[in-house]
Amino acid sequence: MVTKSLLLLAALWTTIVNAETMEETIKRNPPRNISISHGSLGEYTLSWEGNCTCTEGIEYQLEYTYLDSKDNEMEMYYLQENQKVLDLELHRGLQARVRLTYGDNPGITSNWTERTFDLSGELFASVDNLICIFYGKLYMNCSWDVTEHASEGAQFNLSYRERNPSEVYNCTDYLVDGGRNIGCVNHKYRLGEATETIICISEVNKKDKLPYCRIVKPGSFYKLDSPMNVTINKSTDEVEWTLPKFGLNIICYNFQLNITNLNDRNSKLENVTTTNHFISRDHTKKYSVHVRVVVNDNCLESSIWSDWSKPLIIDPDGRDMSFPTIVAVVAVILVALVLLLVLVCMKCKLLSKLCQPIPDAEQKFKGLFEECNGDFQKWINKSIQLTNKVEDSSLATAK
């Protein structure tokens, strides 16, 4: 028993002495001289020097963050080697630090060795504000601004890749302004929506300039097609719509409805997670409804909404009229027409013209009725005889 106890005490003492020795060694040999070098498209190697000859249980702890990061969130790695290959958006500037750690005892560390890489914008391709939008799994559109530092003949190309630097893809169709490429349009991209992709703009005629790069997940910049076939059931006020096929489950989508009262132009937005929604409306007023969609954080969490759908116009509800109401309306219309006709006649004096008295034939032709009892033939013969007598009298007088 005594022997075993002595052995345990000896082992414990050895461990304590070794730990103290390791702690002193680590603290005396912090990493030194952090440097960075450029490799392939958007790829950089962070490296440093280390004097510590103690290798068993020793690791390097590397941390870095971008200078323009709002939350100063650190990326962290534990490494056996004194370098790390990284894909970086180096134009944003970089704060890096490294130290030695003892794996069996995280409290045993060296001091941090830090370095800031705040590189001039002139070292990179003369562009800024690189933005890419991905349309489902079909194609992408990218655009960028040319900075004031660009030379007159500066020309730019877009390339992209995933983690493997040997598989680089190039844009095939550019948007050109003033002879310069300022965008990549309708490009069929070949990478996964959930995989980090590094997209870089290189200045063709300035090989010494570093590429301007962004690291994105395509799914975070998805822009879906607009919802289609927006309809409403007027009896229940349920609005429904359909989606183009994207290959995602319905739980992946958030929808937004823009409901506008067209009488007073008041609008409201309503957020839903299904392809139908009951709206509240005044049935005596006219409305328009638009719908748009975005991928939510259940799947990819895009920050870009689709365009609004074509407007659904909802007219005020019609009212059914009873038979007495129809009769009354028709009667009112007829009376109105009669009154209108009378007014027109009075205005144009048509009544006096249309209502002239019928001439009395007995007054105009008294001989016909008083002497011949209305016998027209007898009256004619008598008139002829009378005319002949008058003519004979006229001849006799003339002689």
User: What is the bridge-based pairing of β-strands 174-177 and 253-261?
Assistant: unpaired
Give the domain extent around 66: 21-119
Domain boundary (119, 139, 173) is at: 119
Q: Are 64 and 74 in contact (CB under 8 A)?
A: yes
- Specify whether 141 is located in the same domain as 217: yes
pLDDT at 167: 85
Domain boundary (289, 314, 339) is at: 314
- 278-334 pLDDT, tens digit each: 999 999 999 999 999 999 988 888 889 999 999 999 999 865 455 676 778 888 898
- 221-265 pLDDT, tens digit each: 889 899 999 999 999 999 999 988 777 888 989 999 999 999 988
Q: Are 232 and 314 in contact (CB under 8 A)?
A: yes
Total number of domains in the chain: 4
251 lies in a domain? yes
Q: How far apart are the C-alpha atoms of 37 and 222, rounded to whole Å? A: 33
- Specify whether 85 is located in the same domain as 147: no
Mean pLDDT in order along the chain per 10 residues (399 residues)? 44 45 78 91 90 71 90 85 92 92 78 91 92 84 91 90 84 90 88 80 88 90 91 93 83 94 92 93 93 90 91 81 72 86 70 58 58 64 62 54
- Specify whether 113 is located in the same domain as 126: no
pLDDT at 383: 66
pLDDT at 301: 81
- Specify whether 131 is located in the same domain as 175: yes
Q: How far apart are the C-alpha atoms of 227 and 230, rounded to whole Å? A: 7
- Specify whether 111 is located in the same domain as 56: yes
Burial 188-217 (b: 16+ CB within 10 A, else e): ebebebeeebbbbbbbeebeebbbbbbebb
379 lies in a domain? no
pLDDT at 320: 47
Query: Half-sphere exposure of 394 toward its Cβ, with a 13 Å CA cutoff?
Result: 6
392 lies in a domain? no
Question: Of 108, 155, 105, which Cα lies nearest the Cα of 127?
Answer: 155
- Specify whether 133 is located in the same domain as 211: yes
Residue carrying structure tokens 């359909």: 242
The separation between the first and the last C-alpha atoms of the chain, rounded to the nearest angstrom, is: 198
Whether the model clears a pTM of 0.85, i.e. scores above it, the answer is no
Domain boundary (291, 314, 337) is at: 314
Q: How far apart are the C-alpha atoms of 29 and 17, rounded to whole Å? A: 18
Q: How far apart are the C-alpha atoms of 314 and 336, rounded to whole Å? A: 34
Q: Are 11 and 19 in contact (CB under 8 A)?
A: no
376 lies in a domain? no
Q: The domain spanning residue 169 has which CATH number?
A: 2.60.40.10
Cβ-Cβ contacts under 8 Å for 228 (sequence gap 6 or more):
241, 242, 243, 244, 309
pLDDT at 214: 94
pLDDT at 175: 93
CA distances from 387 to 185, 368, 380 (A): 111, 16, 10
- Specify whether 235 is located in the same domain as 248: yes
pLDDT at 319: 54
pLDDT at 305: 94
- Specify whether 191 is located in the same domain as 134: yes
- Specify whether 217 is located in the same domain as 239: no
372 lies in a domain? no
